[in-house]
Amino acid sequence: MTLYSPEQMKENIAKVREQIADAAKEAGRDPSEITLIGVSKFFPAEYAAQAFSLGLTDLGENRAEEMHEKKQVLDEKDLHPKWHLIGTLQSRKVRLIAGEPYLIHSVDSMSLAKEISKRYVTIETRAKILLEVNVSGEESKHGFSAAEAVEEIETLLALPNLDICGLMTMAPIQNAPGEAKTVFEKARRLFEELKRRGVDENCWKYLSMGMSGDFREAISCGATHVRIGTAIFGKRDYPDPV
C-alpha cells in the first residue's frame, strides 16, 4: 500500500470535511452535528498517529486486536484519539478491549450486549454502544432486524453498565442511484421509533451510517457519525468500500 505524506493526508481530511459540510447544508443541518471517523484499519499505527496529529480526533477500527494494539502504540506517544470499534466484535474478545473504545458501533446481538455488560460491570465503568441493525435484510450483513430491535429494546435497556446511544447500519454497495438512501431512511425511521420506546434521550443521539461512497446520502437521512477510510487514508491492499 502507498502511504500519503502529511501534506496529502491533511488535504484529504480537509476535502472530506468540506464535503461533509456541503452535504449537511444541503440537508439543512449544522455540520458540527456530524462526527468524522477516520477508518485506519489495516494501515500502520504510525499512519493513524499522523492522522490524529493532523486533527482527526476520532479513529475507527474493524478488529478488536488491531484497535487494542494501535491504542497501545499511540498511548506511548501520548496521543489519545477517540477510538471507535466499527467492525464485528466476537464475545470472546470483549475482555481484550473492555474500557478502551470511546464507542462500540457493532453490537449486533443480545448475547454480545450481555457480554459487554458483564465485562463493564467487572471493571466498574460504562460502555457506550450502538445497536447494529440490518435494515436492508441482506443475509451477508450482521445486526438486529428492525423487528428484533423493537422487540428486544426493553431487555437491552435493562442491562447494567450500558449506555445505548443509538444505531449503526451499512448500506449495500450501490448499483443504482438512491439504493443507499433507501436503507438509511429505514434506519432513521427505526431510530425514531425506538426513541419513543423508553430510551434515555440524553444518550440516544447517535446514528452511525455512511462510508466513502455514500456518506452524502447518509447525512441527508440524519447520520451523526460517518465512517471514512479510503477518501482519507487511500486504498488498501484489498477491495474495500469503506
Look at domain 6-233 and name its CATH class: alpha beta
Rounded mean pLDDT of 32-50? 95
Distances (CA, A) of 74 to 13, 46, 115, 236: 20, 8, 27, 21
Cα dihedral sign, 189-191-193-196: negative
Q: How much is the pLDDT for 43? A: 93
Tell me the pLDDT band of 141, cut-offs 50, 70 and 90: confident
Q: How much is the pLDDT for 239? A: 45
User: How many residues belong to the chain?
Assistant: 242
The residue with cell 464535503 is: 19
From CA 191, how far away is CA 183, in angstroms rounded? 12
Lowest model confidence (mean pLDDT) among 68-82, 136-150, 215-229: 136-150
Q: How much is the pLDDT for 198? A: 85
**Domain residue extents for the chain:** 6-233
Rounded mean pLDDT of 18-35? 97
Query: 3-state SS of 102-115?
Result: CEEEEECCHHHHHH
Tell me the pLDDT band of 3, cut-offs 50, 70 and 90: confident
The pTM for the full model equals 0.94
Tell whether the model's pLDDT for residue 20 goes beyond 90. Answer: yes
Tell whether the model's pLDDT for residue 137 goes beyond 80. Answer: no
pLDDT digits (tens, 9 = 90+) for 68-99: 999 999 999 999 999 999 999 999 999 999 99
Cell numbers given for 91: 464475545
Nearest 10 degrees: CA dihedral of 190, 192, 193, 198?
130
